[in-house]
Amino acid sequence: MNEYDMDLMGKKYVKPTTDVIKSTLTDLQFQVTQLSGTERPFDNMYWNHFEKGLYVDVVTGEPLFLSKDKFESSCGWPSFSRPVFKEAVRYVEDNTFRMHRIEVRSQIGDSHLGHLFDDGPDELGGLRYCINSASIRFIPYDALEKEGYSEYL
């Protein structure tokens, strides 16, 4: 485990055991994050959610995306132009379903988040992180301090 895995901005984030994950997540969240599933487009919590705040890994709580980097992509899933910082996610080649894609996973929790595409808005850098709502939890701006994420205020 590298230094980032053990201590992220002064906070400890660890991946719980599979039994703990199963007991705390919904069936859909478990299917998406642990079994690399995909939720239905336009039928998920955050596809059209644009409140100010922070999105974290539903498994570990590690910070992943800021609302200021979220944009409307009309794909039916939450779309972001970049992660909160580059080390927050890792990338895996995905050749399933006869497609070549780049899978996006959380760094510490190793949760399947979604996929990265190069069809995002040019003015935002051209990338689209297409993320499953089931893999993230939203923390509203007004609750960041209370939930221990005051550095994102």
pLDDT at position 40 is 97
Active-site residue flag, 75: no
pLDDT at position 7 is 52
State the pTM of this model: 0.91
Query: Containing H/E element for 64?
Result: strand 63-66
- Strands laid side by side in the 136-140 sheet: 63-66, 53-57, 136-140
pLDDT at position 100 is 84
Catalytic entry in 130, 134, 136, 139: 130
pLDDT tens per residue, range 28-62: 999 999 999 999 999 999 999 999 999 999 999 99
